[in-house]
Chain A
């Protein structure tokens, strides 16, 4: 069986969930759902031996072969790592949710459906080798995230937080789609592997940089990099299991995955290195700086996530330098990125779960109201402490190892000599260090302010007590992993990290074992990382202790200048602003619209007539001017004048009749007797109709038309008239091909057996026209009947037009 189908297992299982929810009342639906990620985790573990040795596996299901679009699952180190993360943390989250989501109050039937859809989508993103289906799954993650954030949809903040996340991530997704299409044109394939193989050729193609930028837009929006991070704090409206799963461990890492996966293609471009490293670092700093401002536990964690994602992103950017400089010191960065990715998933997931537990047990997430919980919630405290200290980068926790590697990599950057790094490169370790200080500070802030210090239990909505053991299992497992990894980093490295690094830098490493990086806790007193970390601890502690003094500084930034306000302004503009714009030109008056149309038509046609040298006046093509013709012309013009300037309805109608009869006279003059007859009859009937209708209409009035109105009307109508005349003259002067009517003249007697050619055309050659012309009359008849007789009554119950 093609294992690509397993990607769809969650979503297929989701079809059963509503039934499980409705019919099986005794058991929490989550227990059923738990089976899926567990089974998948176990199955994908079996790929580990293959991947450890540098192998890979592929499975494909075709969708639109004619366009080269298929569902392809490609398991290598990178995708396997993410897959295990998705399914592993997924299992823990589902387990957690069994205890967090109350069966009676929450709509579990929908919740687990959305979650499973997300799981499928995420698996698809990381395993997909075909860019089109990768995009499909990417947008599916946006959609499922939308549904999950808006889960409590009666709350305004949930709805608009969901909208914000969807708008920003779909925007990025569409840009990424543009990148994929460009790549498919440049490399003539949708397969990522094939594109990677062609990387050197792609580098010099004209749209390479554009594709690069578009791809990064996709990655940065999804992974909440500056300035697109603003959706992530609002996404905290979602239930906490969702925050732990999507918005810390998996979905937000999709952008990281994208950058990692496409590094072999784009990594050698300086634009890439600067953008990825620079934006990553900026995000790292920005997130950590603003984390301390927050008062909601989940918001602190959200900003922390933004910051940590920036960290990983900057490491991936730094890792791309290895395409240009092969010194060992540059080799760390990619390894560090992957390593930190795993560590972050573990500690952040756990921290979110603790935040959810605190919310569940105390009824609030406001850090100002919390304190001293350690005494009643010792286990939660332990887990939180482990997570926070790991996040701060202290031993004996996994975060310490990856943070050290990060600092070392950043220090190494200043030695890189290309692309202006020799001038600006020093900035990187400086910013990195400052950001680490703030990271330390907010980590301490998070755990100490909540668990230690003064107890304020009377301010809390609920009397706090330790969470039920079921809710604690998942965070405890994660905390254990955090500690475990510290002690066996190289085992983890051999199993998972090295194959992933090889996937990101295939030109550097032929196999995972070639990745010669050994992670150590102690590098000796000379290591820059050691001193930097000590500095971080010292200054971080200082900052933490002085928080009350400098926290008010945050208020200096006026709300108006924030990015959030920019987004809000855009959304407001898209409603009220655009409404005003639209109403400017959509006046509702038909005259305005006709003015636009006529003006456009006449100006454009006359202009093109001259631009294209199409205006030709061949006086020889015109037949001679006749006396009767000219006289009739004068009569016609006079009648027209009467129509325009008539003051009474009767006069106008009679003048119109006069025009019609003059036209009939023209038909006589120009040898069209049948036409003349028809025209006379129709004109007479028309006049009668006009008289009948106008009798019921009011007298002619100008309704307050100003001279200006009339002037505008005159100018526009003159230009239309001029246009018609000029084109007519040009067309007549450029008769290039004789008409087909010669055939009619030739065959009318012999084959059509008729004498009056016009009649024969109407009835035989072009009888089909006549048939439908009569139909038009018939329909006009029933239309008139319908209009006169049917006046719909007001009480019509299905009348939607109020």
Chain B
């Protein structure tokens, strides 16, 4: 069956379900069921999409049947398809986690529609082939995120949300002017067409300037140095399920955008643009390392680990060789999954102990053994201990860097694994080992088990991702190949 519109399903289905959910504002159970159904359907579509891209190549659709580049083209290459699928998987489990943790009050005020709208925006941003359309999808996901970050109106939320929205308004404005500048010079908005035209004029200096401007725009969202400062406090404000979604998904959209633009558009002045990216990536890793060790608050530790991961991924992209790009793709997907798992896990720890301050915890392994071991596996996964999921990506990125003669960068990548390990093992040593400090608050065992289910599932998925790396290799290689060779993407879009 030839489904031309298949690639639109992961965008349309959540949107459709979000609309329906708005009719069931007060019926929380109905909302929960419908959300899961909608996400499940989207997941099926996205798996189907991956299979289709594997067998038939890049899928494209230009809305309205206008020829590209005059209409808006949606493009699903393996990279996008993998990202879309991972997004939906994580969302499903975070939603399940929400059932026991977000609280009915929020659920009655558009919590699930907001999540589905945000997924629409995220999947749309991953799939679009038009730079202004990407701006629109960014706005969709941002406005849904505004709703999520402030929902509930707690004191801390209100204070941080206003700053969050401010930073994003600024970044959106700069996105608009960057697109405007680019349009002025080459007169098109279609991403494949942009790539062709930049190649035609051989990326003169002004285009490189705009490249850096785009890097700044997406870097604000993706939290690279020196644009990440807003993230630690903003992300720590909302409840854990929202933090999990933000941490696992939102920053990655920025990373995706940088990757896409820096492998499709701005590939003719690599000595400058990608060196710049690489330096910023390394500084990002260092900044993240400082933060991950500096605080004894559970949320801050994992949040700063987001920043470290962003640095590692972009470092891999900056190498612009097969190893580096493949490693970056691997590591990106791994990081989305493992961050989702870790945030859910620390959410359970916070629930069990009633605090997020590590110094006030201790001895949890006696009462919560499963939580402890699950956490430890996730922690090792984050640090890249083989055979868990972070390892392959890290090895490939390091290999790519050595191949490109960036020795110091490689050593920094390897050393950052040590810092990551230290930061997450601290949580294990203080919260699970160690003497018990305070009385644990009385908690419902059933709720605990319900919360553990998505956590364990996510960790199992990451373990499978690591151990079963061989099955995933063909897909990763496909994704990396498209990134390494823009002509594949361009041909798929413009020659239809």
Task: Output the least CB separation between A642 and chain B (Å).
Answer: 21
B167 partner residues in chain A, CB cutoff 8 A: 590, 593-594
B454 partner residues in chain A, CB cutoff 8 A: none
- Cβ of B485 within 8 Å of any chain A Cβ, yes or no, is no
- Cβ of A596 within 8 Å of any chain B Cβ, yes or no, is yes
B395 partner residues in chain A, CB cutoff 8 A: 132, 177, 181
Judge whether B355 and A600 touch: CB under 8 Å.
no
Judge whether B105 and A798 touch: CB under 8 Å.
no
Give the number of residues in B that approach A within 8 Å (Cβ atoms): 127
Q: With the chains together, A461 CA to B351 CA distance in Å?
A: 43
Tell me the residues in window 757-791 of chain A with beta carbons closer than 8 Å to chain B beta carbons: 764-769, 772-773, 775-776, 779-780, 782-783, 785-787, 789-791
Chain B residue, CB-CB nearest to A747: B70
- Cβ of A578 within 8 Å of any chain B Cβ, yes or no, is yes
Judge whether B351 and A614 touch: CB under 8 Å.
no
B69 partner residues in chain A, CB cutoff 8 A: 740
Task: Output the least CB separation between A734 and chain B (Å).
Answer: 5
Secondary structure class of chain A's binding surface, majority of residues: helix
- Cβ of A210 within 8 Å of any chain B Cβ, yes or no, is yes
Judge whether A779 and B105 touch: CB under 8 Å.
no
Q: Of the listed stretches A477-485, A510-518, A604-612, name the one at the interface; the rest are far from the partner chain.
A: A604-612
Name the residue in A166, A167, A740, A799 with the highest tally of chain B Cβ atoms < 10 Å from its Cβ: A740
Judge whether B407 and A210 touch: CB under 8 Å.
yes
- Cβ of A706 within 8 Å of any chain B Cβ, yes or no, is no
Judge whether A578 and B387 touch: CB under 8 Å.
no
**Known contacts A178-B398, A582-B291: does B187 contact A739 (CB below 8 Å)?**
yes
Judge whether A178 and B410 touch: CB under 8 Å.
yes
- Cβ of B486 within 8 Å of any chain A Cβ, yes or no, is no
Judge whether B294 and A579 touch: CB under 8 Å.
yes
Q: With the chains together, A545 CA to B415 CA distance in Å?
A: 48
- Cβ of A619 within 8 Å of any chain B Cβ, yes or no, is no
- Cβ of A738 within 8 Å of any chain B Cβ, yes or no, is yes
Chain B residue, CB-CB nearest to A160: B429
Tell me the residues in window 160-208 of chain B with beta carbons closer than 8 Å to chain A beta carbons: 163, 166-167, 170, 174, 177, 180-181, 183-190, 193, 197, 200-201, 204-206, 208
Judge whether A64 and B166 touch: CB under 8 Å.
no
**Known contacts A597-B226, A735-B184, A783-B143: does B232 contact A586 (CB below 8 Å)?**
yes
B-contact 0/1 string along A611-638, CB 8 Å cutoff? 0111010000000000000000000000
Task: Output the least CB separation between B210 and chain A (Å).
Answer: 8
B365 partner residues in chain A, CB cutoff 8 A: 153
- Residue of A64, A135, A601, A768 near B469 (CB, 8 A) is A64
Task: Output the least CB separation between A217 and chain B (Å).
Answer: 11
Task: Output the least CB separation between B199 and chain A (Å).
Answer: 11
**Known contacts A740-B187, A786-B147, A798-B103: does B212 contact A605 (CB below 8 Å)?**
yes
Judge whether A614 and B206 touch: CB under 8 Å.
yes
A601 partner residues in chain B, CB cutoff 8 A: 174, 213, 216
Task: Output the least CB separation between A112 and chain B (Å).
Answer: 16
- Cβ of B399 within 8 Å of any chain A Cβ, yes or no, is yes
- Cβ of B418 within 8 Å of any chain A Cβ, yes or no, is yes
Judge whether B101 and A798 touch: CB under 8 Å.
yes
Judge whether B113 and A738 touch: CB under 8 Å.
no
- Residue of B204, B232, B355, B387 near A614 (CB, 8 A) is B204
**Known contacts A64-B469, A181-B402: does B154 contact A612 (CB below 8 Å)?**
no
- Cβ of A796 within 8 Å of any chain B Cβ, yes or no, is yes
Q: With the chains together, A772 CA to B124 CA distance in Å?
A: 10
Chain A residue, CB-CB nearest to B348: A800
- Cβ of A581 within 8 Å of any chain B Cβ, yes or no, is yes
Q: With the chains together, A174 CA to B248 CA distance in Å?
A: 26
Counting residue pairs across A and B whose Cβ atoms lie within 8 Å, the total is: 306
Q: With the chains together, A608 CA to B355 CA distance in Å?
A: 47
- Cβ of B29 within 8 Å of any chain A Cβ, yes or no, is no
Judge whether B429 and A132 touch: CB under 8 Å.
no
- Cβ of B496 within 8 Å of any chain A Cβ, yes or no, is no
Judge whether A612 and B233 touch: CB under 8 Å.
no
B47 partner residues in chain A, CB cutoff 8 A: none
**Known contacts A593-B229, A793-B105: does B402 contact A185 (CB below 8 Å)?**
yes
Tell me the residues in window 381-417 of chain B with beta carbons closer than 8 Å to chain A beta carbons: 385-387, 391-392, 395-396, 398-399, 402-403, 407, 410-411, 414-415, 417
A-contact 0/1 string along B125-142, CB 8 Å cutoff? 000000011001101100
Judge whether A154 and B434 touch: CB under 8 Å.
yes
Judge whether B392 and A67 touch: CB under 8 Å.
yes
Judge whether B385 and A800 touch: CB under 8 Å.
no
Judge whether B153 and A790 touch: CB under 8 Å.
yes
B-contact 0/1 string along A725-748, CB 8 Å cutoff? 001101110111111110110000
A143 partner residues in chain B, CB cutoff 8 A: 380, 385
- Residue of B227, B421, B473 near A64 (CB, 8 A) is B473
Task: Output the least CB separation between B180 and chain A (Å).
Answer: 8
A-contact 0/1 string along B3-38, CB 8 Å cutoff? 000000000000100000010000000000000000
A796 partner residues in chain B, CB cutoff 8 A: 103, 105
- Cβ of B48 within 8 Å of any chain A Cβ, yes or no, is no
- Cβ of B247 within 8 Å of any chain A Cβ, yes or no, is no
Q: With the chains together, A702 CA to B121 CA distance in Å?
A: 38
- Residue of B64, B143, B239, B434 near A153 (CB, 8 A) is B434
Judge whether B110 and A159 touch: CB under 8 Å.
no
- Cβ of B312 within 8 Å of any chain A Cβ, yes or no, is no
- Cβ of A703 within 8 Å of any chain B Cβ, yes or no, is no
Chain A residue, CB-CB nearest to B435: A154
B152 partner residues in chain A, CB cutoff 8 A: 790-792
- Residue of B103, B153, B197 near A787 (CB, 8 A) is B153
- Residue of B102, B124, B386, B398 near A798 (CB, 8 A) is B102
B347 partner residues in chain A, CB cutoff 8 A: 800
**Known contacts A605-B212, A792-B152: does B425 contact A783 (CB below 8 Å)?**
no
- Cβ of A588 within 8 Å of any chain B Cβ, yes or no, is yes
**Known contacts A575-B293, A612-B209, A776-B143: does B100 contact A798 (CB below 8 Å)?**
yes
Task: Output the least CB separation between A43 and chain B (Å).
Answer: 25
Q: With the chains together, A166 CA to B423 CA distance in Å?
A: 13
Task: Output the least CB separation between B451 and chain A (Å).
Answer: 9
Task: Output the least CB separation between B13 and chain A (Å).
Answer: 14
- Residue of B201, B351, B354 near A737 (CB, 8 A) is B201
**Known contacts A582-B294, A786-B110: does B387 contact A182 (CB below 8 Å)?**
no
Judge whether A737 and B197 touch: CB under 8 Å.
yes
- What are 6 A-B pairs with beta-carbon distances under 8 A? A66-B474, A594-B166, A740-B190, A767-B63, A782-B22, A789-B109
B residues adjacent to A (C-beta < 8 A): 15, 22, 63-64, 66, 69-72, 100-103, 105-106, 108-110, 113-114, 117, 120-121, 124, 132-133, 136-137, 139-140, 143-144, 146-147, 150-154, 156, 163, 166-167, 170, 174, 177, 180-181, 183-190, 193, 197, 200-201, 204-206, 208-210, 212-213, 216, 220, 226-227, 229-230, 232-233, 237, 239-240, 272, 290-291, 293-296, 347, 350-351, 354-356, 363, 365, 380, 385-387, 391-392, 395-396, 398-399, 402-403, 407, 410-411, 414-415, 417-418, 421-422, 425, 429, 432-435, 447, 469-470, 473-474, 477
A residues adjacent to B (C-beta < 8 A): 62-67, 132-133, 135-136, 139-140, 143, 150, 153-154, 156, 159-160, 162-163, 166-167, 170-171, 174-175, 177-178, 181-182, 184-185, 207, 210, 574-575, 578-579, 581-583, 585-586, 588, 590, 592-594, 596-597, 600-601, 604-605, 608-609, 612-614, 616, 724, 727-728, 730-732, 734-741, 743-744, 764-769, 772-773, 775-776, 779-780, 782-783, 785-787, 789-793, 796, 798-802
Given contacts A64-B469, A174-B418, 8 further A-B contacts (CB under 8 A): A597-B227, A600-B216, A612-B272, A737-B188, A769-B72, A772-B140, A775-B120, A779-B114
What 9 A-B pairs have minimum CB-CB distances, sorted nearest first? A612-B205, A739-B187, A614-B205, A153-B433, A593-B229, A783-B147, A136-B386, A582-B294, A792-B152
